[in-house]
Structure 1
């Protein structure tokens, strides 16, 4: 069913189009035709174009000269770079926790996130799983008060969210993240920060081939 936008609100349109991209309704590499989006959301071209520009800033959308906007289509090398950057940023955030005298509140927060992740997987709630996983890995950066790291991770998560969604939608029941999050919590509780950082990095290294395969199957080039 088409969604009617409030009067010319580009941020509303940005979120609506973003949801279509993240959920895979609009696939990697697919053109984003402004006329079709106008009809879908019942609005004029100007706010549609502004919304697409906002999505371009986040990396979800690419503008090609004389061809218009389309969903960003990553190469496998680009995906590897994005995930290895995430691994290093998350590991750095974990290691910074070593400077905090008390990790108890962080361990409790991560435990709650872990339970939410498990519950979302049990009920096959892909959206809830993605959100809880994101919060788990952001928690350390927030706990240390590292605002630049928190901001960088938040932007990176937004950029790669469609990739994680693809994998979770295809094989949520086989994802091993609960074993890693539980082990990370245990390592932090015993103040073994190097092990916690290595586990954080190790999960992404393990899951990356499956993400690449899911993306390969979902992209227009594979259609």
Structure 2
């Protein structure tokens, strides 16, 4: 993993462990073994412990008395609630973003759309999720509400870990068109149409997302394994981590 030598060991450990979860090398329900992490990350126990405490605050791991840390595992009901919350939150954010959107913000959004459309991966993999997150993250950023931006970022992280995103593969073409429709409505400063387009987009994805909660599924792991393991999803939301 590439590391910035200027970053603290605590932050490096935090990002590296987070990356292990996003690359499926730590999966929901799995116990976090300090000795293994010390060997993998080349670090002592102290920054690893600090990182796990922070990840627990993020809702990605859980500590159990006298048993250590585990990667958080969510029930299907909880995940359904997260998906519904994400849909509602994105509807609120786009309502804030459209009326006052600036030309330079639209240019960034258009670039995010172009990157999403240009990606030719045939499987809905980690890279496509990153590009998807960048598009929605820019809309959130345009709202100017830092609290809601951070909340949406956490929801994106949880859903990436909790759901087998490869099931979205048959929808890639539909999701591309959805993104284009959302962008056109925003560019036209039409908040009503933008909300409607985004709602259709979210519901297209929601129909299939809830049927594949992450488990040690060999086919899913194999499909995702080809992604660049040194990259972290929800790239636009990493601004809040510095």
Distance 1:181 1:9, change over 3 A: same
Q: Please report the TM-score for the alignment, with normalisation by the length of structure 1.
A: 0.81
Unaligned runs of 5+ in 1: none
SS in 1 for 2:140: helix
Report 1:195-206 matches (<5 A). Answer: 195-206=193-204
| CA-CA distance at 1:111 after TM superposition | 2.1
Structure 1 range deviating more: 202-211 or 134-143? 202-211
Unaligned segments of structure 2, at least 5 residues: 218-242
User: Alpha-carbon deviation of 1:130?
Assistant: 2.1
- Residue deviations 1:57-97 (CA, integer Å, cap 9, x gap): 11111112222111111111111111111111111111123
Q: State the number of aligned residues.
A: 215
The answer to whether the 8 A contact 2:106-2:187 is kept is: yes
Distance in 2 (CA, whole Å) between partners of 1:99 and 1:42 is: 49
For the Cα contact (< 8 Å) 2:13–2:48, is it kept in 1?
A: yes
The answer to whether the 8 A contact 2:124-2:165 is kept is no
Could you tell me how far apart the structure 1 residues matched to 2:42 and 2:105 are?
A: 45
| 1:120 aligned partner | 119
Question: 1:77 and 2:64 equivalent?
Answer: no
The Cα of 1:103 is off from its aligned counterpart by: 5.4
Q: Distance in 2 between matches of 1:212 and 1:110?
A: 28
Question: Alignment partner of 2:21: what SS?
Answer: helix
Q: How does 1:94-109 map to 2 (within 5 A)?
A: 94-100=94-100, 104-109=103-108
What does residue range 133-172 of structure 1 map to in structure 2 within 5 Å?
133-163=132-162, 166-168=164-166, 172=169
When normalised by structure 2's length, the TM-score is: 0.75
Structure 2 Cα separation of the partners of residues 156 and 216 of structure 1? 15
Report deviation, 1:3: 9.9
Asked whether the 8 Å contact 2:28–2:72 carries over to 1, the reply is: yes
Partner SS for 2:12? helix
Select the structure that is richer in helix: 1
Of 197, 207, 210, which aligns to 2:208?
Answer: 210
Deviation by residue 1:137-186 (Cα, 9 ceiling, x = unmatched):
1222322422232232223323333246x314x65464332111011112
Contact 1:163 1:211 in 2 (8 A): no
Change (3 A) 1:42 1:138: closer
Q: SS where residue 69 of structure 2 aligns?
A: strand
Per the alignment, residue 21 of structure 2 pairs with 21
Among 163, 176, 179, the residue aligned to 2:177? 179
